[in-house]
């Protein structure tokens, strides 16, 4: 797959962004390195993490994924080849989007990642306790300093994203170039009705997470099947007649293309208006192979899948 340009940047990225949320959680360092090595062998260069990954695991303190990525890039000597995204706001010891917190958090992430700059720095959630102007001003200074190249938003509503863009325009600040929100075949309404119009109007890249519905759209969850996974509890809302009908249709299309169910689900997502590249994670190299070259679908196939989850 060829690299694609991200709007409003000079970045060119692999069409699948590799999620780093599993590094230091369900994947240990050796497993994470194996996945990262395999991803780059496919010419992959776009990796997403966050300071909070994976604080939730017993014994972790946050920055766990960042530290694994930093060590891997240091050993490989490939930092300049990687488009690296991380986030601020959700780590318990660095919560929120105040200017002071952003300034402290970015330095923590730079140390963990063993790098002097971050390509895309996300506001990991909308901190409505802090004025947008304060947050955007702090991000603007980070870009001036060279610590960050571009900024982006995650878990924003369309209204708040549009408001942030207008403030940046009026104040002469840098603008959010991407949005990372929840979007997949089984979770559509909010994204398509509230966010897609803003993305298209402003030329902002959609980089959605949970593209495989926490693994449900990989096809491994079937009626009566037991799946051993740390994320299995998050798919119960999809385990119903609609979800299983969708998986059956994904499987039918996957067989026609000679590919995986995951690849078809991501192919549908990548074809949606405003979406630049979906995010998906892999705990093992075998899982990576199922997602790294997602399928280009026909219009009929896209419509068939869309009709199942309107």
Note the pLDDT of residue 246.
97
Note the pLDDT of residue 224.
66
Q: What are phi and psi of 118, to 5 degrees?
A: -115, 130
Q: Which of 14, 39, 53, 183 is catalytic?
A: 53
Domain region containing 303 = 4-308
Note the pLDDT of residue 233.
64
Contact 99, 62 (CB under 8 A): no
Averaged pLDDT score across all residues of the chain:
96
Q: Is 150 a catalytic residue?
A: no
User: b or e along 34-68 (b: 16 or more beta carbons within 10 Å of the residue's beta carbon)?
Assistant: ebbebbbeeebbbbbbbbbbbbeeeeeebbbbbbb
Split into its structural domains, the chain has a count of: 1
Q: How many CB atoms within 10 Å of residue 180?
A: 25
Q: Express each pLDDT in 75-129 by its tens digit.
A: 999 999 999 999 999 999 999 999 999 999 999 999 999 999 999 999 999 999 9
Tell the residue number behind the tokens 């989007």, with chain if given.
97
Contact 176, 204 (CB under 8 A): yes
Q: Express each pLDDT in 225-263 by its tens digit.
A: 666 665 556 788 899 999 999 999 999 999 999 999 999
Q: Given pLDDT bands bounded at 50, 70 and 90, which one contains residue 72?
A: very high
Q: Express each pLDDT in 24-67 by its tens digit.
A: 999 999 999 999 999 999 999 999 999 999 999 999 999 999 99
């Amino acid at each position: 797959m060829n690299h694609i340009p991200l709007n409003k940047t000079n970045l060119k990225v692999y069409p699948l962004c590799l999620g780093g949320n599993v590094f230091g959680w369900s994947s240990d360092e050796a497993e994470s390195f194996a996945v990262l090595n395999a991803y780059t062998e496919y010419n992959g260069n776009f990796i997403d993490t966050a300071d909070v990954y994976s604080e939730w695991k017993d014994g972790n303190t946050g920055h766990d994924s960042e530290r694994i990525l930093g060590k891997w890039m240091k050993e490989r000597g490939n930092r300049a080849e990687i488009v690296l995204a991380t986030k601020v706001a959700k780590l318990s010891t660095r919560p929120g989007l105040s200017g002071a917190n952003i300034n402290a958090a970015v330095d923590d992430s730079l140390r963990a990642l063993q790098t002097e700059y971050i390509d895309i720095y996300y506001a990991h959630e909308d901190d409505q306790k802090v004025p947008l102007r304060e947050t955007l001003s702090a991000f603007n200074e980070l870009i001036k300093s060279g610590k960050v190249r571009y900024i982006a938003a995650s878990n924003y509503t369309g209204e708040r994203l549009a408001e942030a863009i207008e403030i940046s325009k009026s104040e002469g600040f840098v603008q959010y170039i991407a949005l990372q929100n929840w979007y997949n075949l089984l979770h559509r309404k909010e994204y398509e009705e509230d966010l897609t119009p803003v993305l298209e109007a402003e030329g902002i890249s959609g980089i959605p997470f949970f593209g495989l519905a926490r693994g449900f759209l990989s096809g491994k969850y079937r009626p009566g099947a037991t799946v051993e996974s740390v994320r299995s509890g998050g798919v119960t809302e999809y385990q119903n007649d609609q979800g299983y009908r969708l998986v059956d249709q994904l499987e039918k299309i996957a067989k026609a293309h000679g590919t995986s169910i995951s690849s078809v689900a991501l192919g549908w997502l990548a074809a949606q208006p405003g979406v630049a590249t979906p995010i998906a994670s892999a705990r093992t190299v075998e899982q990576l192979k199922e997602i790294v070259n997602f399928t280009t679908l026909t219009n009929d196939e896209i419509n068939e899948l869309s009709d199942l989850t309107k």
